């Protein structure tokens, strides 16, 4: 078997060890005589997987007892509406840091269901960055401030979450369990699993217990966090295969040293790419202010943009796939989530260096 190095922004590369385990156990889980994807979500076999997954999440990410963990469907995109529907009832406001494409989409949906406003916006002028807390204009009556911890398309990250005097809601789709966080700052964190945690189909929501019943009664049951919390995320059929796969990825993360080790690994590996960019004598350009550069999604472009398609084509031929930047911005994007092996990072750095030398 020859595997390519897949730099997709999501669904993303998973650890080969996990894929092999899934393959080995796909037809029969343990001695159950059936596959996990065939099991009733009410069966004791699946409930054991479900409960263990919740326990692993709480342990690995150091989630305090005062928070509920929900395993939902609909992707982070559904949370763009669920968050304001649940946490910003009539009479309150919701503030948004508009730091890029995904933050803008969250704000757009919030406008539809709540009194939402932009507390800070990245104008796109100069270097891409995140705001300092002192730059964010929080209005009176604000129930929460929404932040996108890592903009997957723009390659910019929120460095820390301190200094705000209002509870935070975090879209952490692209660095979830890739960094520890201070839970005291948050009322809710959410993200899709398909980048750092497993396959698509599962959305993780971690919410402070005392905010779960804040939604108005007019909010439909399925869109209420309390509906899912009271049923232990089993109110309807969950994405059982995705939960099972995430269970195995969580164990893999634990075997590699946990979330702190994932963060250090992400810093070291992203720095390898940034050092290549910064030492290319201007051949490659990264538009993000260095202090705010993403550890997960490195965006770059040749200073001669006409070389971009050639670079991507040659990379594909070399087994380095999905390096094309998002269609809205173009360029090149190197996504190196938890599941990317070190030799994949080394291979893309070597390729980018060689491409620059041949053209430079």
Question: From CA 348, how far away is CA 287, in angstroms rounded?
Answer: 19
Question: 93, 109, 120, 171: which is the annotated catalytic residue?
Answer: 171
Taking 3-state DSSP, the helix, strand and coil percentages for the chain, each rounded to the nearest 5, stand at 40, 20, 40
**Within 13 Å of residue 167, how many CA atoms lie on the same side as its CB?**
20
Torsion of CA 247, 252, 254, 260, to 10 degrees: -110
CA distance linking residue 256 with residue 110, whole number of Å: 38
Q: Give helix 240-255 / helix 16-25 axis angle, nearest 10°.
A: 130
Cβ-count burial 306-345 (b if 16+ within 10 Å, e if not): ebbeebbebbeebebebbbbbeeeebbbbbbbbbbeeebb
- List C-alpha distances in Å: 183 to 98, 115, 135, 233, 339: 22, 25, 22, 21, 25
Burial label for 349, CB within 10 Å (0-12, 13-18, 19+), is middle
CA-CA distance, 325 to 315, in Å (whole number)?
A: 13
Residue among 199, 173, 239, 175 nearest 12 (CA): 199
Choosing from 61, 102, 120, 244, the catalytic residue is 102
| Catalytic residue, candidates 61, 115, 120, 195 | 195
- Residue 17 backbone phi and psi in degrees, to 5: -60, -40
| Inter-CA distances, 90 with 115, 139, 218, 224, Å | 8, 15, 11, 15
Contact present, 119 and 145 (Cβ < 8 Å): yes
Catalytic annotation on 324? no
Active site residue 102: yes
Helices (H), the chain: 16-25, 44-60, 75-87, 101-113, 225-230, 240-255, 259-278, 308-317, 342-359
Residues assigned a catalytic role = 102, 171, 195
């Amino acid at each position: 078997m020859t595997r390519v190095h897949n730099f997709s922004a999501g669904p993303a590369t998973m650890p080969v060890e996990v894929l092999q385990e899934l393959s080995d156990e796909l037809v029969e889980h343990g001695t159950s005589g059936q596959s996990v994807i065939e099991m009733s979500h009410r069966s004791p076999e699946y409930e054991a997987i479900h409960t263990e997954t919740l326990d692993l999440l709480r342990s690995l990410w150091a989630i305090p007892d005062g928070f509920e963990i929900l395993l939902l469907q609909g992707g982070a995109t559904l949370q763009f509406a669920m968050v304001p529907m649940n946490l910003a009832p009539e009479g309150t406001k919701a503030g948004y840091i508009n730091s890029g494409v995904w933050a803008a989409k969250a704000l757009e949906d919030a406008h539809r269901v709540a009194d939402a406003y932009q507390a800070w916006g990245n104008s796109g002028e100069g270097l891409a960055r995140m705001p300092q807390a002192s730059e964010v204009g929080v209005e009176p009556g604000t129930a929460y401030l929404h932040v996108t911890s890592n903009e997957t398309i723009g390659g910019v990250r929120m460095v820390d979450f301190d200094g705000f005097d209002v509870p935070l809601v975090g879209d952490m789709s692209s660095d979830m369990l890739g960094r520890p966080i201070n839970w005291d700052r948050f009322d809710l964190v959410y993200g899709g699993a398909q980048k750092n945690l497993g396959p698509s189909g599962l959305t993780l929501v971690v919410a402070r217990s005392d905010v779960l019943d804040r939604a108005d009664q007019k909010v439909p049951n399925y869109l209420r966090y309390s509906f899912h919390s009271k049923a232990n995320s089993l109110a309807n059929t969950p994405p059982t295969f995705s939960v099972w796969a995430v269970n195995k990825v969580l164990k893999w993360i634990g075997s590699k040293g946990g979330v702190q080790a994932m963060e250090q690994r992400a810093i070291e590996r992203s720095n390898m790419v940034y050092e290549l960019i910064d030492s290319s004598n201007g051949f490659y350009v990264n538009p993000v202010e260095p202090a705010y550069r993403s550890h997960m999604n490195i965006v770059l472009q040749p200073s001669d943009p006409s070389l971009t398609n050639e670079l991507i084509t040659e990379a594909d031929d070399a087994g380095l796939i999905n390096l094309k930047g998002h269609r809205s911005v173009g360029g090149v994007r190197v996504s190196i989530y938890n599941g990317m092996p070190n030799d994949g990072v080394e291979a893309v750095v070597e390729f980018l260096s060689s491409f620059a030398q041949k053209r430079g």
